[in-house]
Amino acid sequence: MTITPPRPVAPAEQAAPPVTTLALAEARRYARHPLFLLAGSVLIVALGAGLVQREVVTVSALEGTVAPAFLIGVFGFVIAHRLTTSMHRTGDVVGTTPTTPLRRTAALCLACLVPATAGVVLLLIDVVFGAIWPPEPVPPGQTVAWFGDQPTVPMLAALVASIVLACLGGPLLGVAVARWAPFRGSALLGVVLLVVGCAYGDDLPGSWFAVLPWFNFSDSLVTDGIFRASWLRDGAIPVWTCVYYACLCGLAAVAALLRDAGDHRRTLLTTGAILAVGAVLAVTFSMS
């Protein structure tokens, strides 16, 4: 009689963690990044100084959107790019459970809600303290690009587009660039093109500046170095520009996911085509 030894039981494969678990891990990495902490600290100090002077919102209200768009949006491009290119070092964060590049990229895109949330907080601070201490032109009686002097919906759309969507779009673009061009200099090149393009493109003739991924929604009257008055800029309709920016954010996320789409390629391409058509229509309506 032959006794057959029991067969060894293979260990069960670990299930891949859900995307939400990966996203929370990446969100924590994003929130702890030194550049994000630096940007937040600078903005907090600036807000504190404004509160002391009771000038959180000034006569050049929309000019104040440049700081969060740069510190959170452009810095966010670098942060997201860095986190994406260092994906191979995140095993200690999510454990040793298996995952795929597509799921990790999706998690990184969801982690970009961290800077977007910071943008929402900054917008709310502007609105609340702008209601407590409304901006006053110099001399009184001039127009101010703020609620009351300007229509509510366009004003709110301008703030959402220039703060919240800028804080979201920069990091999403950083993820996309890092997935398709993961070499060292792509982050610097992307930042230079983004900043210079927006700065010089703002002087495009007619309403063509509306095609930029970010521009200042206000025009201002400045004499002797003092802002005398401000108003919503002609040549772009804020509501449609807000829709356009939202489509650009979606396209950046789709571009990042397409790098390792696999079986999801057709769905992503369809989504990207819809977003592209939406972006073209929205920017056309914005310029009309």
Q: Which residues contact 187 (CB under 8 A, 6 or more apart)?
A: 77, 78, 81, 82, 174, 177, 178
Per DSSP, the residues of 139-197 read STTS--SSBTTB-HHHHHHHHIIIIIHHHHHHHHHHHHHHHH--STTHHHHHHHHHHHH
- What is the C-alpha separation between 267 and 92, in angstroms, rounded? 32
Residue found under tokens 């804020």: 238
pLDDT in tens, 145-201: 999 899 999 999 999 999 999 999 999 999 999 999 988 799 999 999 999 999 888
**Residue 10 included in any domain:** no
**Residue 7 included in any domain:** no
What's the whole-model pTM score? Answer: 0.89
Domain that holds residue 113: 19-287
**Residue 2 included in any domain:** no
Provide the number of structural domains found in the chain. 1
pLDDT in tens, 213-239: 999 999 988 888 788 888 999 999 999
Residue 34 has pLDDT above 70, yes or no: yes
**Residue 1 included in any domain:** no
Is there a contact between 159 and 150 (Cβ–Cβ < 8 Å)?
no
**Residue 47 included in any domain:** yes
229 DSSP β-pair partners:
221
Q: Is the dihedral of CA 232, 233, 235, 241 positive or negative?
A: negative
**Residue 74 included in any domain:** yes
**Residue 6 included in any domain:** no
